[in-house]
Amino acid sequence: MRGLLFALLGLGVGWAVAVRAADVPLPDAEAEARAHALFYELRCVVCEGEPIAESPVEVAAAIRAYVRQRIAAGEGDEAIKAALAARYGESILMSPRFGARTWLLWLNPLLVLLLGAAIITAYYAAMRTAASKNPPI
């Protein structure tokens, strides 16, 4: 029983050390600033809508460690995001790229604005027509 307790305690300590090791900052302050900026551009795959910078989940810590590792290797931000998007899908990006699957997402505000302008124009045109047919007395 005592051996099982020590084994479980050892696993817990090992897990805590592994998670903390993922949050070791880069020695270069500029590289660490880049890493933090990327942390807010990447969505946690477990927590809905939360950037990995604010997520306490193991997966987010692993992604943070991966980002730091790739920055230390000299990789660019876009290459890191592309590699993570290839592995986890476009949903990992807080701002998805413009493409065949996301064009409606990006153009939706413009379409809503144009539809609203068309409705307002049609309303005022109908009001002018009605006013010309029935002049005020």
pLDDT tens digits for range 97-125:
777 776 777 788 899 999 999 999 999 99
Q: 74 with 131, same domain?
A: no
Q: 40 with 66, same domain?
A: yes
Q: 9 with 37, same domain?
A: yes
C-alpha span between 127 and 35 (Å, rounded): 57
Domain tally, the chain: 2
With a cut of 60, say whether residue 47 has pLDDT above it. Answer: yes
Q: 72 with 14, same domain?
A: yes
What is the reported pLDDT for 6?
54
Q: 18 with 74, same domain?
A: yes
With a cut of 60, say whether residue 14 has pLDDT above it. Answer: no
Q: 127 with 93, same domain?
A: no
Q: 81 with 133, same domain?
A: no
What's the chain look like in SS3? Answer: CHHHHHHHHHHHHHHHHHHHHHCCCCCCHHHHHHHHHHHCCEECCCCCCCECCCCCCHHHHHHHHHHHHHHHCCCCHHHHHHHHHHHHCHHHECCCCCCCCCHHHHHHHHHHHHHHHHHHHHHHHHHHHHHHHCCCC
Q: 103 with 90, same domain?
A: no
Q: 77 with 119, same domain?
A: no
Range(s) of the domain holding residue 130: 98-137
pLDDT tens digits for range 59-98:
999 999 999 999 999 999 999 999 999 998 888 888 777 7
What is the reported pLDDT for 130?
84
What is the mean predicted confidence (pLDDT) over 6-13? 54
